[in-house]
Homo-oligomer: A and B are copies of this chain.
Amino acid sequence: MIDQETIGLLMKGVNNVTWQSLVMIGVSFVLFYLAIVKDYEPLLLLPIGAGCMLANLPLSPLMDDTGMLKILYGMGVENELYPLFVFIGIGALTDFGPLLENPKFVLLGAAGQFGIFLTLILALLMGFTQPEAASIGIIGAIDGPTSIYVSGLLAPHMLGPITVAAYSYMSLVPIIMPPVIYALTTKRERLIRMPYSQRKISRRTRIMFPIVVTVMVGTLVPFATPLIGMLMLGNLMKESGAVERLTKASSNEIANTVTLLLGLAIGSTMGGADFLKTSTLFILVLGLLAFCVDCAAGVLFAKFINLITGGNTVNPIIGAAGISAFPMAARVCQRVAQDEDFENFLLMHAMGANAAGQVASVVAGGVLLALMGAGG
């Protein structure tokens, strides 16, 4: 009654287990560990881990052409909808006030993008193609949605490791930044206090900021329009104070739903065949390097400002905050400063640099896309 054929069909699942799928399921366990036990960006890494696990189960119907994970991928990763929605939510919760009070800090944000390009060169030398190298470099923006957006356009086959790297390293800010700062600054520099001139930012200016940035960046770097446009849309909704319902929806319901779907879809790209390559290891290493170079460039640029202006007006610690991990990078800078002198309060300055880093990393992403479009 139970014939050979039936047994064969019933054992189909077990027969299709491969060592790659087992390893990838192990990788998903690592992601669960990082997310749950180490608390590394659990909102992203847990769904990514789940997507990875479900995609690597043998013959997973979720990965059919009409499977859920494929549909989720098509719904928002392929067309870049998810990262753009996430950006609306981020914009709705980011206060650019600290940057507006000290607009000169925008340059620190620019300096903090140097890691992108250095890593790009290294990746090229390691044999990655130009779009791949650019995608690896963008990890140096230390900005999840930007990394997903850019690499989704340039090298979708590397989306998995790049996203995992971007979000993991965002979580490693408190671990990676301090040694870089200590290595590049003297105690005397770290003790520099920065007096604070408060300037009341009018509501008009707060509302004009997102509009001006969108029009300026969008006109000069059209490739950056989606990223900067959505970030600034969220900010405009917040600062206008007129659409609280939409602001709340963007930073809560929409952000939560999209994050879950995004994580699952990204995780589903982590198939064994694509992921288990030495290139993945290189991506992780290069991404980490990009992050360190970002911090270093920021610190050195701050020192360079001091050199130029001939005074000790900028504590180089805050140079390291010129990345997009807002507001964590700023907090870590404050902690490093306070470790030297617990009456030294740099947080507001660091927040300014950090907000600049948020804008700068989006701009850098757009510039990278523009150069790649122009490029080669």
Chain A contact residues, CB within 8 Å of chain B: 5-6, 9-10, 12-14, 16-17, 25, 29, 32, 35-36, 39, 42-43, 46-47, 50, 53-54, 57-62, 66-68, 71, 79-81, 84, 207, 211, 214-215, 218-223, 225-226, 229-230, 233, 236-237, 240-243, 245-246, 248-250, 252-254, 256-257, 259-260, 370, 373-374
How far, in angstroms, from A161 to B192 measured CA to CA in the complex?
57
Q: What B residues does A373 contact at CB under 8 A?
A: 9
Contact B25 A226 (CB under 8 A): no
| Closest B residue by C-beta to A229 | B54
Q: Say yes or no: A222-B10 contact (C-beta < 8 A), given A43-B245, A84-B68, A211-B32.
A: no
How far, in angstroms, from A226 to B63 measured CA to CA in the complex?
10
Kindly provide the distance from the CB of A5 to the nearest chain B CB, expressed in whole angstroms.
Answer: 8
Q: What B residues does A47 contact at CB under 8 A?
A: 243, 246
Q: Say yes or no: A242-B57 contact (C-beta < 8 A), given A68-B80, A219-B14, A374-B6.
A: no
Contact A222 B256 (CB under 8 A): no
How far, in angstroms, from A81 to B6 measured CA to CA in the complex?
29
Contact B71 A236 (CB under 8 A): no
Contact A236 B81 (CB under 8 A): no
Q: What B residues does A221 contact at CB under 8 A?
A: 13
Q: Say yes or no: A218-B79 contact (C-beta < 8 A), given A374-B6, A374-B9.
A: no
Q: What B residues does A68 contact at CB under 8 A?
A: 79-81, 84, 226, 230
Q: What B residues does A229 contact at CB under 8 A?
A: 50, 54, 57, 62
Q: Say yes or no: A242-B35 contact (C-beta < 8 A), given A229-B54, A249-B253.
A: yes
Kindly provide the distance from the CB of A200 to the nearest chain B CB, expressed in whole angstroms.
Answer: 19
Kindly provide the distance from the CB of A265 to the nearest chain B CB, expressed in whole angstroms.
Answer: 13
Contact A219 B58 (CB under 8 A): yes
Q: Say yes or no: A14-B84 contact (C-beta < 8 A), given A246-B47, A256-B245, A370-B9.
A: no
How far, in angstroms, from A45 to B62 measured CA to CA in the complex?
28
Kindly provide the distance from the CB of A243 to the nearest chain B CB, expressed in whole angstroms.
Answer: 5
User: Is the contact region of chain A dominated by helix, strand, or loop, or is it mixed?
Assistant: helix
Contact A46 B218 (CB under 8 A): no
Q: Say yes or no: A253-B256 contact (C-beta < 8 A), given A50-B233, A225-B60, A240-B46.
A: yes
Most buried by B among A32, A47, A61: A61
Q: What B residues does A42 contact at CB under 8 A?
A: 240, 242-243
How far, in angstroms, from A373 to B8 measured CA to CA in the complex?
12
How far, in angstroms, from A255 to B214 measured CA to CA in the complex?
27
Q: What B residues does A218 contact at CB under 8 A?
A: 13, 54, 57-58, 60
How far, in angstroms, from A42 to B243 measured CA to CA in the complex?
6
Contact A256 B260 (CB under 8 A): no
Contact A13 B79 (CB under 8 A): no
Contact A17 B219 (CB under 8 A): yes
| Closest B residue by C-beta to A239 | B36
Kindly provide the distance from the CB of A103 to the nearest chain B CB, expressed in whole angstroms.
Answer: 22
Kindly provide the distance from the CB of A366 to the nearest chain B CB, expressed in whole angstroms.
Answer: 10
Q: What B residues does A46 contact at CB under 8 A?
A: 236-237, 240, 242-243, 246
Q: Pick the contact of A222 from B13, B25, B237, B370 — CB < 8 Å?
A: B13
Kindly provide the distance from the CB of A272 to the nearest chain B CB, expressed in whole angstroms.
Answer: 15
Contact A225 B62 (CB under 8 A): yes
| Closest B residue by C-beta to A78 | B66
Q: What B residues does A62 contact at CB under 8 A?
A: 225-226, 229
